[in-house]
Amino acid sequence: MATEHREPNRVKWIGVRPGHEGEQVIAYATAVNVLGTVYTVPVDKILLLFGHSVGVYSTAAALGEMYIYDATPALEVTLVGRSVAANGSVNSDHSYDPPLELTAGYSLRILTVAATCRIRATIHGILIDA
């Protein structure tokens, strides 16, 4: 049987994790036919990613994706992969509870490889000291 990990006292949290003072991060990026960076975690910081929104718009069938890259930079994980039909659009919103933790040098990137396709991403998180 699978068990779910829960951090203690999370119902008492107000805004950020207990014991941390953080800076709110809201970042936005748009990409067409290129790998674009939404946000890179600064040195000696940790990004607590609470959520992201991704929209893909295209005049021809295409695919838009959002990734997490590590500091090397090598692909760690694909967060969102959305295909869209010709003259279509698709939006995707995700939230994390507890938040994803990204360490210094990690980045959130978006990609579309078609000149007819545009991807737009917004992230929301808190930046804390490592």
User: What total of structural domains would you count in the chain?
Assistant: 1
Q: Quick one: pLDDT at residue 51?
A: 93
Domain of residue 37, residue span:
19-129
Is the predicted pLDDT of residue 12 greater than 70, yes or no?
A: no
Is the residue at 63 inside a domain? yes
Burial of 116 from C-beta contacts in 10 A (0-12 / 13-18 / 19+): middle
**Cβ count near 1 (within 10 Å):** 2
Q: Residue 37: which CATH number?
A: 2.60.120.220
Q: What is the pLDDT of residues 32-64, one digit of tens each?
A: 888 889 999 999 999 999 999 999 998 888 888
* pLDDT tens per residue, range 71-92: 998 998 999 888 888 888 989 8
- Tally: H helices and E strands in the chain: 0, 8
Question: pLDDT of 112-128, one tens digit each?
Answer: 888 888 899 999 999 98
